[in-house]
Amino acid sequence: MQYRTLGRTGVQVSTLALGAMNFGSLGRTSQADADALVGAALDAGINLIDTADMYGQGESEEMVGKAIAGRRDDIVLATKATMPMGDERNHQGSSRRWLVTELDDSLRRLGVDHVDLYQMHRWDPRTSDEETLSALTDLRRAGKIRYFGSSTFPAYRIVQAQWAAREHHLGRYVTEQPGYSMLQRAAETHVLPVTEEYGLGVLVWSPLASGWLSGAVRAGREISTSRSALMPHRFDTTVPANRARLDAVERLAAVAAGAGLTLIQLALGFVTAHPAVTSAIIGPRTTEHLHSQLAAADTVLTADVLDAVDAIVAPGLDLAPEEKFDTPPALLDPARRRR
């Protein structure tokens, strides 16, 4: 396992991080499965575990808490907030009122007195940066969090938050968690250059593109990823955009084979090769999945392999636009762009 410094924090984290989104009903993962996954990951050298309050509406945090009992000091523990927790209108977002309450709930579910990294799961356009950063700064001073970060923020919002922290003399986000893979390279255009400019650690989610790069989606085979049942439109190969993805996957698989690698090794080695990336978050449902991904822990891609990937999916090109989740509200709501 390789380790890198998380931004400018001085904290050393593994280049592969264990994501716990599949813990519980979403991934049909039992507590025994979660215990085995966490144990195997830690034994392999992974020291960063990432979860969120909304994964299973708290279920993932509870399972992570039980799985790390007795090993808390060995782990850089990260969780997230802002996504809806139930139907009550104020049980979401980045207001001080909600974050103070929800962090306590996350700590209770995790069974810990602090988290190392508390991340805003999405940018909340209803809440000012000053409001959110002020609350997070106070929670850090209280010892309940060590650092705070953002997730899936558009590049301009990352910049705006950095300037707000400076203007109001508040703590700043020290990490960003963007979607990034060989099929989803839009982050290279603006987000990753901005994170490098501000010295942010980068924890990449979906480096296997929801299973497209795991080997589960191949031409002429029945799709075997669990996501296909939840989001069938994303895997319908009669859709032109998905057909383009499938064609790219076949060509990328050939590059991997030519380099003596699995497609998973190529995919994870690709994202961790970017100088802005600190860790790639993997989300296995089984220990078999975990071990196939751990095989990429020491993968270092040569320049000719990276060039071959560029020839198939050009830098900055996004073949998975439905997975972005960072489209500015002005593009989603007609009322915000018309008089």
For the ranges 105-109, 177-181, 233-237, 275-279, the lowest mean pLDDT is seen at: 233-237
Whole-angstrom distance, CA of residue 139 vs CA of residue 135: 6
Q: What share of the chain is helix, strand, coil (3-state, %, to 5)?
A: 45, 15, 40
More confident residue, 240 or 298: 298
SS3 204: strand
How far is the CA of 249 from the CAs of 125, 146, 204, 269, in angstroms? 36, 39, 20, 15
Q: What percent of the chain has pLDDT over 70?
A: 92
Q: Are strands 76-81 and 279-282 parallel, antiparallel or unpaired?
A: unpaired
pLDDT at 227 over 60: no
Q: Which are the catalytic amino acids? A: 55
The DSSP code for 67 is: H
Strand partners for 177: 151
The ranges assigned to domains in the chain are 3-330
Task: Give pTM, 2 decimals.
Answer: 0.92
pLDDT at 129 over 70: yes
pLDDT value at position 57? Answer: 95
Sequence-distant (≥ 6) Cβ neighbours of residue 276 within 8 angstroms: 192, 193, 195, 196, 202
Res. 239 pLDDT band, cuts 50 70 90: confident
- Residue 90's identity, in one-letter code, is N
pLDDT at 236 over 90: no
- Comparing C-alpha atoms, which of 339, 337, 204, 215 is closest to residue 283? 204
For the ranges 89-93, 120-124, 128-132, 240-244, the lowest mean pLDDT is seen at: 240-244
Whole-angstrom distance, CA of residue 203 vs CA of residue 320: 19
Cβ-contact 299, 1 below 8 angstroms: no
Sequence-distant (≥ 6) Cβ neighbours of residue 298 within 8 angstroms: 1, 2
pLDDT value at position 215? Answer: 83
Whole-angstrom distance, CA of residue 144 vs CA of residue 117: 10
pLDDT value at position 333? Answer: 74
Q: What mean pLDDT, rounded, does the chain reach?
A: 92
CATH number of 3-330: 3.20.20.100
Res. 80 pLDDT band, cuts 50 70 90: very high
pLDDT value at position 204? Answer: 98
pLDDT value at position 26? Answer: 85
- Residue 58's identity, in one-letter code, is G
pLDDT value at position 118? Answer: 98
pLDDT digits (tens, 9 = 90+) for 32-51: 999 999 999 999 999 999 99
pLDDT value at position 59? Answer: 97
- Comparing C-alpha atoms, which of 183, 96, 121 is closest to residue 325? 121
Res. 238 pLDDT band, cuts 50 70 90: confident
Whole-angstrom distance, CA of residue 5 vs CA of residue 60: 26
Res. 30 pLDDT band, cuts 50 70 90: very high
Res. 241 pLDDT band, cuts 50 70 90: confident
Name the one residue in this structure whose structure tokens are 């449902």: 285
Phi-psi region of 169 (alpha: psi -120 to 50; beta: other; left: phi over 0): left
pLDDT at 136 over 80: yes
